[in-house]
Amino acid sequence: MSTSALERARDFLLLNARLLERRLAELWLGEPAPAAAHAVLAALAAYRNPDGGLGHALEPDARAPESQPLAVDFALRVVEQVLDSPAGDDPGVRAEITAFAASLVPYLESVAAPSGGLPIVLPSVARYPRARHWGDGVFPPGLNPTAGIVTCLRRAGVRADWLDAADVFCRERVDALTDLDGHAAHNALHYLGHAPDRPWALAHRDAIAARLGELPYFHLYPGEGYGLTYGLTPLDIAPLPQDPLRELIPAGAVAAHLAELAAGQQTDGGWALSWEPPGPAAELEWRGVVTLQAARVLAAN
């Protein structure tokens, strides 16, 4: 990523992004000091509800103030970015991450199915403005978001009985994988990347990776996929060169997506969305998210 492109992305974030993404940008595009990591976690805490969950449009497509598993999943993905930054090795940062992540468990347990699995959203999301794809808010428990949430909590050092049950749910779902789309594959691959049973995990990882080119909502190469422009790409599941999943993705696919990503920077310095958010505020919030993600990926590759 050229210096001028990076500066334009930084300016876009300063002008348009939420405080959360601006502070997170300090970890990836600035000086990754522990103070910046603590600031990211403090920004996440502003989305907390009395029930222990998170809401208030932390995930910008769901404007509900009430807690949603979707918002917890979004927060834990941010927590993982903190863990993966140089500041993530700081003992004080790690202690705050563990405390924050552990405090989410009672809420998650309260909305989980008896199987331990979580739905991506709850029906209460339909009482508020939302993106069209959240519909009536009725979703079954699934690998999306359960596998991602379990993985993030484990990485944060959390232990809990519900977490053990959710782990069993994920393993059973991975064993029985039939219907699979880009989001479920993303969550499953993330889970398998950290599962302690490595022979089992690697066998399933390789099987899922072999199917990526045929999945709905996944574009192995630019322009491919199931009719919609929206979809995940290899840069979503393996954004950094050192990611172990990179070895399972054709080098040409990664190079093509990096070229498309670099060419996608808009005149205002940010990146556009490939879906319709529920309103202008949500659009700007999401553009802050995807611009930071694009700048992080391009700077690292």
**pLDDT-derived band of residue 221, with 50, 70 and 90 as boundaries?**
very high
**What is the tally of structural domains in the chain?**
1
pLDDT at 281 over 80: yes
Q: What is the pLDDT of residues 24-57, one digit of tens each?
A: 999 999 888 999 999 999 999 999 999 999 999 9
Q: Please report whether residue 94 resides in a domain.
A: no
pLDDT at 224 over 80: no
pLDDT at 229 over 80: no
Q: Please report whether residue 125 resides in a domain.
A: no
pTM of the model: 0.95
What pLDDT is stored for residue 6 in this prediction?
Answer: 96
| CA dist 50 → 31, 65, 79, 119 (Å) | 33, 11, 20, 20
Q: Please report whether residue 286 resides in a domain.
A: yes
Q: Please report whether residue 135 resides in a domain.
A: no
Q: What is the pLDDT of residues 231-267, one digit of tens each?
A: 899 999 999 999 999 999 999 999 999 999 999 999 9
Q: What is the pLDDT of residues 107-124, one digit of tens each?
A: 999 999 999 999 999 999
Q: Please report whether residue 102 resides in a domain.
A: no
Q: Please report whether residue 73 resides in a domain.
A: no
Q: Please report whether residue 6 resides in a domain.
A: yes
Segments forming the whole domain that contains residue 9: 1-18+264-301
pLDDT at 227 over 60: no
Query: For 2-12, what is the mean pLDDT?
Result: 96
What pLDDT is stored for residue 226 in this prediction?
Answer: 40
Query: For 86-94, what is the mean pLDDT?
Result: 96
Instruction: Return all residues near 294 (Cβ < 8 A) that are at least 6 apart.
Output: 9, 261, 264, 265, 271
DSSP string, 234-293: HHHHS-STT-GGGGGS-HHHHHHHHHHHHHTB-TTSSB--SS--SSHHHHHHHHHHHHHH
Taking all residues of the chain, what is their mean pLDDT, rounded to a whole number? 94
